[in-house]
Amino acid sequence: MLERDLKPFVKVKQPSYFTYFCAQCNNKRILPMNPNPGRAKHFFQVALTAGVIMLMTWSWFEWKGVVSFIPLWIGFEVMFRMKLRAMIPCPICGFDPYLQLIDSKRATEKTVEFWKKKFEDNGLEFLDRDALRMKKYRVPPKNDANIT
């Protein structure tokens, strides 16, 4: 008997939440929703809404109202992804993995803006990389009076 022929006795249910580690601060993140729309629950909700809309517009569309499922699913998918997109950035360090995949320079700028705001809220001065480099390697001014 091969390993692929072995099937588990109990089907493991996928959790309704999604966990991952932040790539920048390494903190565990837990999103309260699974990032994959298309579970049976989602289909049922959209189908039920399409059924209600079909019944409300029965005098105009009759059975053609079933087609309302398609724009409702598109709307659901857009709202689902927007909601998920708003939850992804890390509240601790400001890192956004989705933006990092699309445009790494913008992701870096957003993270720097996050830290600047965090420092300003605490009344501290924020030094970015260039300022830190200048401060670290700054050569003290020469005093010509002390030269012998």
Query: Residue 146 — very low, low, confident or very high, per pLDDT cuts 50/70/90?
Result: low
Least confident of 1-15, 19-33, 50-64, 133-147: 133-147
> Model-level pTM?
0.67
The pLDDT assigned to 3 comes to 60
SS3 sequence of the chain:
CCHHHCCCCCCCCCCCCEEEECCCCCCEEEECCCCCCCCHHHHHHHHHHHHHHHHHCHHHHHHHHHHHHHHHHHHHHHHHHHHHHHHCCCCCCCCCHHHHHHCHHHHHHHHHHHHHHHHHHCCCCCCCHHHHHHHHCCCCCCCHHHCC
